[in-house]
Amino acid sequence: MEASTLRNTFIFSLLSICSISSSTTTSHSHHHHPLDPLTPQEFTLVQTIITNSYHNSNPNNLTFQYVGLDEPNKPTLLSWLSTLKTTTPPPRRAFVITRLNKQTHEITVDLSTSSIISDHIYSGHGYPLFTVEEQTTASELPMTYPPFLESVKKRGLNLSDVVCSTYSVGWYGEEKSARILRILCFYTEGTVNLYVRPVEGVTLVVDLDEMKITQYSDRFTVPMAKAGGTEYRAAKQKPPFGPKLKGVATVQPDGSGIEIAGHSIRWANWAFHLGFDVRAGPIISLASIYDLEKKTFRRVMYRGYISEMFVPYMEPTEEWYYKTFFDVGEFGFGLSAVSLEPMKDCPAHAVFMDGYYAGQDGKPVKISNVFCIFEQHAGNVLWRHTETGIPGEVIREVRPEVSLVVRMVSTVGNYDYIIDWEFKPTGSIKVGVGLTGILEVKGVSYTHTDQIKEDGHGTLVADNTIGVYHDHFLTFHLDLDVDGIGRLRTRTLCYGTPWDFIMSLAKKIFR
Amino acid sequence: MEASTLRNTFIFSLLSICSISSSTTTSHSHHHHPLDPLTPQEFTLVQTIITNSYHNSNPNNLTFQYVGLDEPNKPTLLSWLSTLKTTTPPPRRAFVITRLNKQTHEITVDLSTSSIISDHIYSGHGYPLFTVEEQTTASELPMTYPPFLESVKKRGLNLSDVVCSTYSVGWYGEEKSARILRILCFYTEGTVNLYVRPVEGVTLVVDLDEMKITQYSDRFTVPMAKAGGTEYRAAKQKPPFGPKLKGVATVQPDGSGIEIAGHSIRWANWAFHLGFDVRAGPIISLASIYDLEKKTFRRVMYRGYISEMFVPYMEPTEEWYYKTFFDVGEFGFGLSAVSLEPMKDCPAHAVFMDGYYAGQDGKPVKISNVFCIFEQHAGNVLWRHTETGIPGEVIREVRPEVSLVVRMVSTVGNYDYIIDWEFKPTGSIKVGVGLTGILEVKGVSYTHTDQIKEDGHGTLVADNTIGVYHDHFLTFHLDLDVDGIGRLRTRTLCYGTPWDFIMSLAKKIFR
């Protein structure tokens, strides 16, 4: 062991030696990297191949619930990389999940031969990602459903100011389940902050395969929360929102240090591949750092992404108990990604990248600026020491901290998740998820905490409004290859109310 | 309760209404604020007053161990502020701790009348801050101490490459104790990284009041750790240290948003007072934020500072058991503060402030650039939401995060503590302490973990070198006045090895 390792003791580093990862060096070739996400042309090809294959089986109700790259398996990819790309790359394939005649198909398509390799019907529990289109259609059904119109009238609301939204229903061990969504509605009269004015007490259930309302319940009414004071747009605030700040701009006289070739990214001593998936959002692959002493790349992580986000609410009543969202597996972090706003979601010197997914009809849909990639100069210090202990000598060594951030924002209804992958020159990777947006609230009759005599399952945050207890459990898929081929790890992070509380409520709800 | 509070739900805010704190608005008056630290002229005045008072009592061995502002008490200051400074300010006083004839004096000096208000001898446990001068003198004593010269010779070391450093001794309930320091020495041959080459096995004890070595022990020798690979200066690295990064500069076309008048600081909606104390370092007082709706300042914190940093090492042997540093109370976070390096310790647009303390002779000593104050633009998002749920309308609201950071770095021997007070426009204050510098290590005979058959009380980090288990417990004095006069809280943060481990070792060591 070298004594030089001492100076790295404070820096948690993920370092690995792996000469083969030098294959991720910058290449301006327009050939695909085998891990590149499907291109618009490839989405179209997949759609054509699958639609044609159902030509004789009345594909009127064929929907594409998921289309993405079927990644080559790890040994195959590493083997190809070890030849420094001189051999034939692994075959390019797509993995597709469709619904057809109320059945879920899992299909693998070979793009080079334009053929279907496998197509089997999935018959286990659970259903594929919801499409945007079916959620939109389902959320409009109440507007022509007489019992709902009666409920709106009974509450004295204007139908034109009511909007509805879709909610997954959870699974509680039922042997048989249907592909259903619950529908909750909100009142936009006088506000764009719809989530704070729920039409509490009314729940609808829609069967997505029938696209029909199959259950309806209107159990109670509570006073509608006030619209006043719920405006969040800065331009509409009186007095103006927040203090006025003087402007700041960053200048890079030598240009950006970020090199992007297709989906392969180089920055400082890092090289990695950035993919986009409609389910997971960003997928980081083949992350490795260049070791100046060993003159080689050392692999750190084969692949990392957020595999799931579980958001259970701690409210056991009929209107709320089922709220146990899987924001990745049900709504799609990629599908819910929003276009990032330059200068605001990301700093001025950020570089942007677009993403594509397949719509319900299989055709490609573009999300502009789905990722931003930027150098982060927060003004912090990576490492420093001032030495005055040696007679006649003063040493002051300060290394400012600079890192590279890859960001995507996924807005799943009321919540905005800011997903950051941060690469540090020390060899460590920091993952962070910022939780912002708007609370999911419950309409109640209370206007003061003194009135609440039983467990409110949340906090009174405004008149007639309870912010319901809930958590966000993030699970990361982390296939770390630190100086060699490693083991897959998953790691769950939890945000929200304290753990003890979660567990006691979880026992209550999931008993 | 206003529904508008909803949009602040994710932001932990410390807000308080207090009209009197508007008195901290910018004033370019050169009059003192009652909380301003002592000026160089005031340090000189204090020194003169005290030296003169001992004129008839042979003050040859008078030393100033602490000189600082004797702050007006809180009701007095608040009362004065409530008159909008139209009344006479509280009397300006200094609090002084001296050693004279082996006794600790606690003295209060009134600066307006140039008189000593009180002077009493402290006879309880414990001793005042160590001065830089007495530590320097003590650490040079071994160089002429024959048993030590013999130990150096026995180890084959060159005396000219040996430097020694001072260590506090802890307190284990002894009824009587002396004002002593332990001395440990290091070998700088071939390296400036002295801490990694301890002369293990040799311990000296110095009585500071006698300034004599009173105990000496040379219990064992171990091979000296190698000098190779311990260089940490970037300019000396071959190959060059770390990846090359392209430059970046920040530009503020409308100038800085930070207004400083004396020690009163205004930025965005914040107003606060920043003092410097030789013991605590930065002291934040009267922090309040301007409420645009209420058109008034609301007080958040009356006073906040780091009151102590406890650093126990988990090594029970004779050479290590006593290492239970109080880095604030024994060595002084202010006294150990280093001049910050522009562009490296703080970003280009930072503003700097100097600090002063009294040397052992009572005369003022300046630390240039002891604080930096800067706007932090990390490229993060304060709050955002994209709304696509309202038919025919897309809303995208993004508020970038900008905050103000007050930074000081205290280097206590091998460790560098980066102390940040961060003020967010939301009304919250974030305190952070970055731990960097160089590990405190123990010399051992081991060169491989296989050789370690018993508890090594640390981790083998290099040949003959163990990084000893230890912790950093930071205690904050936080007098929060959120919308009124609050209660004092203290909060302890812990960095280091896991808590369970600490507790089991603490039981072992402090039994």
pLDDT in tens, B404-426: 999 999 999 999 999 999 999 99
- Lowest mean pLDDT across A411-420, B81-90, B425-434: B81-90
Residue listed under structure tokens 């009974």: A154
CB atoms within 10 A of CB A502: 18
Residue of A143 and A177 predicted with greater confidence: A143
Which of A4, A375, A390 has the CB atom closest to B248's CB atom?
A375
pLDDT tier at A14, thresholds 50, 70, 90: very low
* B194-227 exposure pattern, b = at least 16 Cβ within 10 A, e = fewer: bbbbbbbbbbbbbbbbeeebeebebeebbebbbb
Output b/e per residue, A443-464; b: 16+ Cβ within 10 A: bbebbeeeeeeeebbbbbbbbb
> What pLDDT is stored for residue A7 in this prediction?
30
- Whether residue A247 has pLDDT greater than 90: no
Pairing of strands B381-387, B324-326: unpaired
**How many beta carbons lie within 10 A of that of residue A339, not counting itself?**
18
Chain B residues with CB under 8 Å of A416 CB are: 384-386
Q: Is the alpha carbon torsion for B23, B26, B28, B32 positive or negative? A: positive
- Answer whether A435 touches B (CB < 8 Å): yes
CB within 8 A of A458, min separation 6: which ones? A314, A315, A441, A442, A466, A467, A468, A469
Structure confidence at residue A6 (pLDDT): 30
What's the rounded Cα separation, in Å, for the pair B181 and B443? 21
**pLDDT for residue B58:** 67
What sign results for the dihedral spanned by CA atoms B275, B280, B281, B286?
negative
- Residue with structure tokens 């930096």? B372
Whether residue A31 is predicted with pLDDT greater than 70 in this model: the reply is: no
pLDDT in the model for residue B486: 65
B293 has a pLDDT exceeding 80: yes
Task: Tell me which chain B residues have a C-beta less than 8 angstroms from the C-beta of A8.
Answer: none
pLDDT tens-digit series, residues B377-410: 999 999 999 999 998 889 999 999 999 999 999 9
- Closest residue on chain A to B237 (Cα): A293
Residue whose C-alpha is closest to residue A90's, from A40, A31, A39, A33: A33
Position B474 scores a pLDDT of 94
**Residue range A80-107: average pLDDT?**
93
- pLDDT value of residue B471: 95
DSSP one-letter string for B416-484: EEEEEEEE-TTS-EEEEEEEEE---EEE-S-SSGGG--S--SEEEEETTEEEE-BEEEEEEEEEE-TTS
CA-based nearest distance B252→chain A, Å: 5
pLDDT surpassing 60 at residue B17: no
In which band, very low, low, confident or very high, does the pLDDT at B27 lie, cut at 50, 70 and 90?
very low
The whole-number pLDDT of residue B8 equals 31
- Chain B nearest CA to A386, separation (Å): 7
Q: Report the alpha-carbon distance of residue B342 to residue B340 in Å, rounded.
A: 6
Helices assigned H by DSSP within B310-367 = none
Contact indicator for A342, A350 with CB cutoff of 8 Å:
yes
Tokens 């650490």, residue? B139
Q: A411 near A389, Cβ under 8 Å?
A: no
Q: What is the pLDDT of residue B54?
A: 85
What are chain A's domains? 18-124 (3.10.450.40), 132-236 (3.10.450.40), 265-509 (2.70.98.20)
Indicate if the pLDDT at residue A20 is higher than 60. Answer: no
Q: Is the pLDDT of residue A501 over 90?
A: no
- The reply to whether B430 touches chain A by the CB within 8 Å rule is no
Q: CB-based burial of residue B75 (10 Å sphere; 0-12 exposed, 13-18 middle, 19+ buried)?
A: exposed
Mutate to test the interface with A, among B232, B290, B375, B409 (most CBs of A within 10 A): B232
Rounded CA-CA distance B147/A30 in Å is 74
Token pair of A244, please?
């006025």
Distance CA B398, CA A341 (A): 8
B246 touches chain A (CB under 8 A): yes
A172 included as an active-site residue: no
Please tell me the predicted confidence (pLDDT) of residue B18: 28
Out of B415, B417, B446, B469, pick the active-site residue: B415
| Residue B495 in contact with partner chain A when CB distance is under 8 A | no
Pick among B384, B388, B428, B442 to test the A interface (most A CBs inside 10 A): B384
CB atoms within 10 A of CB B304: 24
The amino acid occupying position A52 is N
User: What is the C-alpha to C-alpha distance for residues A298 and A485, in angstroms, rounded to an integer?
Assistant: 11
A240 touches chain B (CB under 8 A): yes
What's the one-letter identity of residue A511? R
Query: pLDDT above 70 covers what percent of chain A?
Result: 88
More confident residue, A294 or B143: B143
Nearest to B4 among A229, A379, A439 (CB): A229
Nearest-angstrom CA–CA distance, A359 and A135? 12
Q: Which residues of A touch B345 (CB under 8 A)?
A: 381, 384, 398
Candidates B489, B211, B160, B7; CA nearest to A195 is B7
Q: Do A381 and B254 touch (CB under 8 A)?
A: no
pLDDT given at position A484: 77
Q: Please report the pLDDT score of residue A15 as a whole number.
A: 30
Q: Can you tell me the mean pLDDT for A291-314?
A: 93
Q: Which residues between 299 and 318 in chain B have a beta carbon less than 8 angstroms from any beta carbon of chain A?
A: none
Give the mean pLDDT of B265-285: 98
Picking from B257, B389, B416, the nearest residue to A245 by CB comes out as B257
More confident residue, B498 or B462: B462
Residue of B140, B162, B245 to mutate when probing chain A, most A C-beta within 10 A: B245
Considering CB atoms only, which of B247, B398, B434 is closest to A253?
Answer: B247
**Beta carbons of A443 and A198 less than 8 angstroms apart:** yes
Structure tokens at B172: 């284990």
Contact B192 A256 (CB under 8 A): no
Measured distance CA(A295)–CA(B128) in Å, rounded: 53
- Give chain A's mean pLDDT: 88
- Amino acid type, B286: L
> Residue A60 in 3-state DSSP?
helix
pLDDT of residue A488: 62
Instruction: Give kind and range of the element (H or E) at residue B133.
Output: helix B132-140
pLDDT of A368-408, one tens digit each?
999 999 999 999 999 999 999 998 889 999 999 999 999 99
Single-letter residue type at B474: L
Say what the pLDDT of residue B438 is.
95
More confident residue, B457 or A58: B457
Enumerate residues 6+ apart whose C-beta is below 8 A from B253.
A247, A249
pLDDT at B7 over 60: no
Catalytic residue of the set B36, B70, B277, B327: B327
Residue B510's pLDDT is: 31
Residue of B nearest to A236 (CA): B397
Q: Which is more confidently placed, B245 or A325?
A: A325
Spell out the residues 6+ positions from residue B193 whose beta carbon is closer than 8 angstroms to its own. Answer: A6, A7, B230, B231, B232, B438
Min Cα distance A268 → chain B (Å) is 5
Taking the C-alpha atoms of residue B75 and residue B79, their distance in angstroms, rounded to an integer, is 6
* Tokens, residue A210: 């029938």
Mean pLDDT to the nearest integer, A346-367: 97
Single-letter residue type at A413: G
Q: Does the distance separating the beta carbons of A462 and B5 come in below 8 Å?
A: yes
User: Chain A residues with CB inside 8 Å of B338's CB?
Assistant: 386, 396
DSSP characters over B221-285: --PPPP-TT----GGG-SSPSS------EEE-TT--SEEEETTEEEETTEEEEEEEETTTEEEEE
Residue A479 has pLDDT above 60, yes or no: yes
The Cα–Cα gap between B232 and B123 comes to 45
pLDDT, one tens digit per residue, over B312-369 is 999 999 999 999 999 999 999 999 999 999 999 999 899 999 999 999 999 999 999 9
**pLDDT-above-70 percentage for chain B:** 88
Exactly one of A305, A415, A417, A469 is catalytic; which is it? A415
Q: Is B345 a catalytic residue?
A: no
Contact between residue A98 and residue A324 where contact means Cβ atoms under 8 Å apart: no
**What's the gap in Å between the CA of B324 and the closest CA on chain A?**
20
pLDDT at residue A253, rounded to an integer: 86
> Which pLDDT value is given to residue A240?
80
Mean residue pLDDT of chain B comes to: 88
Q: Between A and B, how many residue pairs show a Cβ–Cβ distance under 8 A?
A: 300
pLDDT of residue A486: 65
Residue B46 has pLDDT above 60, yes or no: yes
Q: pLDDT digit string (tens) for A258-283?
A: 999 999 999 999 999 999 999 999 99
pLDDT, tens only, B148-175: 999 999 999 999 999 999 999 999 999 8
pLDDT of residue A490: 62
Q: Which one of B186, B390, B441 has the shortest CB-CB distance to A188?
A: B390
Q: What are the chain A neighbours of B143 within 8 Å (beta carbons)?
A: none
Please name the residue ranges forming H helices in A86-187.
132-140, 146-154
Per residue in B297-316, pLDDT (tens digit) is 999 999 999 999 999 999 99
Phi, psi of A339 (to 5 degrees): -65, 130
CA B495 to chain centre: 15
Interface ipTM: 0.88
Other CB atoms within 10 A of residue A499 CB? 11
Token pair 């290492």 is found at: B323
Residues 364-403 of B with CB under 8 A from A: 374-381, 383-391, 393, 395-400, 402
* Contact residues, B window 467-486, toward A, CB-based 8 Å cutoff: 467
Tokens for B45? 């005045």
pLDDT of A2 over the 60 cut: no
**AA identity, residue A28:** H
Q: Are B484 and B475 contacting, i.e. CB atoms less than 8 angstroms apart?
A: no
Across the interface, whether the CB atoms of A192 and B387 are under 8 A apart is answered yes
Q: Span B190-214, mean pLDDT? A: 96
pLDDT at B489: 62
Asked if B341 is an interface residue toward chain A (Cβ–Cβ < 8 A), one would say yes
For A118-157, the pLDDT digits (tens) are 999 999 999 999 999 999 999 999 999 999 999 999 999 9
**pLDDT of B499 higher than 50:** no
Task: Tell me how far apart the alpha carbons of residues B12 and B51 are, in angstroms, rounded to a whole number.
Answer: 50
